Amino acid sequence: MLTIETKNDFDSLIQNIARCLKLYEKNKYTQRYFQLMNGDSIVLSFPSSTIPHLLGINTVELNQIPSIKRRSYQAVTDLIEQSYSVYQKIQQQLVHPNRIFSSYTLEKLENFPSILYCDSKKIFAFCKYDNKRSYYLEREKNYPDGYYIILEEDNQTFRVLGIKNMYQNNYQPHTNLIFHSIEELRDLLYGQEVTLPCQYHVRKEIRAIPIFYPNDQKQEKIKHLIQYQAQIPFSINVTKECLNSLKILFENKTKENETNALLQELNQKETIDEEDISFLASLLNKDLFSFVDRLWSQPLINEESYYQNVSEKQKLIQELEETKQKLLEIQKREQTLLQENEQLKQTNEQAKQMKKQLESVLTTYTF
């Protein structure tokens, strides 16, 4: 809890605020992109207008001080520059610090570097909070709808950044929280959907740094979440990522081998009949989900045993797309042949009719 009893207390507070603003100035143009295992995408940015609230500073109260005329983020920079004058007004009881600073400002200042950098190694979970779930479960404490990025420290401290969707998956922060145990985190996670990132990009100015999570790390993070389900009932949604793994495994191995074998067989044929085309169409549209039940009992698919790196995986996907294009070309070719064949049938039928007419004429004029 925040208490300002001496000038040293106030100076220490101002120094912490200045340190946080310095960190923000270095990273204010940084964007973070998350691809989540439930299929959602998040583009996260920190507009300057969100910073005072994240630090627990009420700029409306700050603007009651005549010398601080600028608003929002600029008002906080004025606070730092005019800290001596502000402290004098506090001493004169013209300004009450509890109206300017939240009682949790010190914790928010401590939290700020972690939530700003969002270290990928410390990500515990992404909670997709739905207020309706809390209402139906009769929870006393509710939070605003949106995603909550939860970072876990070694000492069971959980640093949380609440973010809201402003437009088309572009998110901005709206709250800065800290929980000192998994029990404190219970109110946030209870009955909610929880997921994890599978890709993470940090974009600073024009440079983007991609971070891909290997499957062993994904499995470890999921197992870590499952351990807490005994204490807190929440659902883990990693369905999209599992299906992607199955798709890559099945399409780029089994299906590609079948397709190549079929293409070799078709290339040896002089003509392609309708049965071949029907089989090709069924192969293109084969339902992957019939394989899920058979493979679901195994751990998450370890793609690394098949693919050494992301570029190799992309190469396989590209080869599969090329194979599909070949199949489609064969279909088009067959359709063209069938149309030409139909035209030949019509021409042949017309020739037969002309022959009959000619025979009839010859019979009439036979002497």
Mean pLDDT of the chain: 79
Residue 305, pLDDT score: 42
- Per-residue pLDDT tens digits for 306-355: 344 555 556 666 777 777 777 778 778 777 877 877 787 787 777 777 77
Comparing CA positions, the residue from 50, 16, 329, 15 lying closest to residue 176 is 50
* Torsion sign (Cα): 135, 141, 144, 148: negative
Joined tokens for residue 282: 């069924």
Give the contacts of 58 (CB within 8 A, at least 6 positions apart): 52, 99, 100, 101, 102
pLDDT exceeds cutoff 80 at 78:
yes
Distance, in Å, from the CA atom of 242 to the CA atom of 247, rounded to the nearest integer, reads: 9
pTM of the model: 0.67
* Minimum mean pLDDT range among 101-115, 150-164, 318-332: 318-332
pLDDT exceeds cutoff 90 at 106:
yes
pLDDT tier at 205 (50, 70, 90 boundaries)? low
pLDDT tier at 266 (50, 70, 90 boundaries)? low
Distance, in Å, from the CA atom of 305 to the CA atom of 318, rounded to the nearest integer, reads: 19
Residue 297 burial (10 A CB sphere; 0-12, 13-18, 19+): exposed
Question: Percent of the chain at pLDDT above 90?
Answer: 35
Distance, in Å, from the CA atom of 137 to the CA atom of 235, rounded to the nearest integer, reads: 14
pLDDT tier at 246 (50, 70, 90 boundaries)? low
Distance, in Å, from the CA atom of 161 to the CA atom of 54, rounded to the nearest integer, reads: 9
Residue 259, pLDDT score: 58
- Per-residue pLDDT tens digits for 206-218: 666 777 777 778 8
pLDDT tier at 138 (50, 70, 90 boundaries)? low
Residue 313, pLDDT score: 56
- Per-residue pLDDT tens digits for 16-28: 999 999 999 999 8
Residue 74 burial (10 A CB sphere; 0-12, 13-18, 19+): middle
Comparing CA positions, the residue from 150, 212, 199, 177 lying closest to residue 43 is 199
Higher per-residue confidence, 312 vs 287: 312
Sheet holding 30-36, edge to edge: 207-212, 197-204, 30-36, 41-44, 170-179, 158-167, 146-152, 123-129, 193-195, 235-236
